[in-house]
Amino acid sequence: MDHPKMDYAPTSVPATVLKILCCQCGVLMEPNPANMCVSCLRIHVDITQDIPKQGILQFCRNCERYLQPPFEWISCALESKELLGLCLRKLKALNKVKLVDAGFIWTEPHSKRIKVKLTVHGEVMSGMTLQQVFVVEFTVANQMCDDCHRSEAQDYWRALVQVRQKSDNKKTFYYLEQLMLKHKAHKNTLSIKPESNGLDFFYSTESQARKLVDFMTAVLPCRYQHSKKLLSHDIHSNTYNYKFTYSMEIVPVMKDSIVCLSKKVSQQLGGISPLCIVYRVTNSIKLIDPSTAQLAEVSSSAYWRDSFQSVFKSKQLTEYTVMDIEPIMEKDRVQFPGQGQLSYKHMLADVWVVRSCDLGLTTDSIHCRSHLGHVLKPMDTVLGYAIADSNANDSNFDKLPKSSLPDVILIKKNYPDRARHRRRTWKLKRMTTDTEMNMESDHNDMDEFMDDLEEDKDLRQNINIYKNPDVGIESAAEDDDDNDGAPRISLEEMMEDLCVYEDDVMEVYE
C-alpha cells in the first residue's frame, strides 16, 4: 500500500546563550575576557586613575582673565566654551581615554570653585570598553597678570603717543576726544596726561600705541615721527628691550579760521581765492571761498607737502549788525573754466554791515560779499573778521594786492539771545585722568565746540550725544519750543546714557 508523501518544514531551534558566573560576586552574566560583571569591573578597574580630579586656575581680578600656560592670559566667561577648553587643557593624561561628553556643574560664582563633569570611554582587559563618569574640581587662585603689574607700577610704560597741535584753540582736541570715546580707541590706555599743547597717551605695548596712531591718522590730518630708546639688552638670548615714542602733530588750522593759500595751492584747488574760510576739519581740511561759494578739500598729505597757517583765528572775531542784504542770482555768479566745485547749500549775497559797538554812532556801513545769504536778514548779528583793520603776519598774505582784499569776511551768524552757559538738554562724555583737563581757561573753547555741534548737523553725526538726566523731558520740550532762532539738538538725536566700560573714568560735561 502506497502512502502519500508529506512535506515537513524545518523548525528553527533557539540558540542557547551560554552564561557564566562572575568571578567576584557570582552573579550570572554573559562571558567576557575579564570574567567579571560590569559592576565589579567598575569597582576593580579605574580608567581615570591617571587623570587628576583637582586642579588650579590662575585668575587676574583686575582684568578678569585666566592664565593659559605658559604665558598667555585669555578672557573667559563663566560656563563658556573657552573656559571649558581651558579646564580640559589643564588635565594631563586625558588623551589616554576617549572623551565623550563634558560640561559644567553649577557652583556659586563667588565660591572660587569650578566643577567639570566628564564622560570618557576606555579600553580594559583584552579589548573591553568601559564608560566612566567623574567630576574634576578646579580651584580659582588669584594671580595678577604681567599687564596689570605694569599698569599698577608707577610710570611704567612701553610706548608713548604724544599728540600736539601748535594752536591756542582746543576745539580740535575736543573733537578727537569724542571720536575716541565713540570708537573706544582709548580702552587699552594705561594713563592719559594733559600737556600744554596736547595730550600724552601711555601704553604697555607698541602694537597698542600703533593702533592709536593709525586711528588718528584716519580721522584727522596729522603726521608723526617715530623713535625708540634702548633700555636693556640680553647678549645670551639676543633680546632687546625698548621704549617707543610716537610724536603726532595735528594741523594747526581749525574751524572758522581764515587761511591764506599760496598761488600754487590756489591753482591746484581749482582757482579758488587765496583767502578762504576753514569750513570743517575732519579727516581732511574743507575750505570755502566766501566771495564765490567755491569749495575745496585739502588732504593730509597735500597739506604737509605745502602747508599753510591760520591768518585769522576765532578769538579775533568781531560782532557786526546786518543793515541790508541783497542776494546774488545764480546767473550773476562768477564762473570760469576749470573752476572747482561750487556749494549750492550756501547762497551768495552782498551784505552791508556795521560794527555792533558802533551801531547808532555812525551811518557808514561796510560792504562785503558773503556765502551766508541763506541765513542772514537785516538786523541780524553776525561774527566776522575785520581784514582791513588787522595786521597779519603771513608771507602769503603779504603778497596779496591790498586793493583786492575785502574789508570784512563774515564767518557765521551770531545768536545773542542764546546764553553761552545756559543749561543744555544734552551732554558729552569726557576722558579725565587729571583735573588740568577741566581748567577754567578751557571752558570757552568747550562752549564754542558745543555751539559748533548745535549749528553743524554733519559734524555731530560722528559724535555720541547723550540725554541730560538732570534736565527733565518737560524742560527739554519747552527748550525745543523756544523760538529764539538759536539752533538746537533734537531729542531724536540724543542717546541714553549707558556706561559700557565700568573701568573707564569718565566725566560728564554739560
C-alpha cell recorded at residue 302: 597735500
Amino acid identity for residue 259 in this structure: V
pLDDT for 366 equals 92
End-to-end CA distance of the chain: give it in Å, rounded.
Answer: 127
Q: What is the pLDDT of residues 292-322, one digit of tens each?
A: 899 999 999 999 999 888 899 888 899 999 9
Q: Calculate mean pLDDT across residues 145-167.
A: 80
Lowest mean pLDDT among 42-46, 109-113, 336-340: 42-46
Instruction: Flag whether pLDDT at 139 surpasses 90.
Output: yes
- pLDDT-derived band of residue 166, with 50, 70 and 90 as boundaries? confident
pLDDT for 214 equals 94
Lowest mean pLDDT among 35-39, 123-127, 360-364: 123-127
The strand pairing partners of 310, in sequence order, are: 259
157 closest CA partner among 208, 194, 225, 196: 208
| Cβ–Cβ under 8 Å, residues 116 and 104 | yes
pLDDT for 137 equals 93
Alpha-carbon distance of 320 to 411, in angstroms, equals 11
Alpha-carbon distance of 138 to 57, in angstroms, equals 7
Alpha-carbon distance of 209 to 352, in angstroms, equals 52
> CA 352, 354, 360 angle in degrees (round to 5)?
125
Instruction: Flag whether pLDDT at 502 surpasses 50.
Output: no
Place of cell 577648553: 85
pLDDT for 246 equals 95
Q: Is the C-alpha dihedral spanning 290, 292, 293, 294 positive or negative?
A: negative
Alpha-carbon distance of 147 to 158, in angstroms, equals 11
More confident residue, 373 or 495: 373
pLDDT for 140 equals 93
- pLDDT-derived band of residue 41, with 50, 70 and 90 as boundaries? confident
Q: What is the pLDDT of residues 85-103, one digit of tens each?
A: 999 988 888 888 888 899 9
Alpha-carbon distance of 151 to 433, in angstroms, equals 14
pLDDT for 435 equals 39
Q: Calculate mean pLDDT across residues 142-151.
A: 80
Instruction: Flag whether pLDDT at 499 surpasses 80.
Output: no
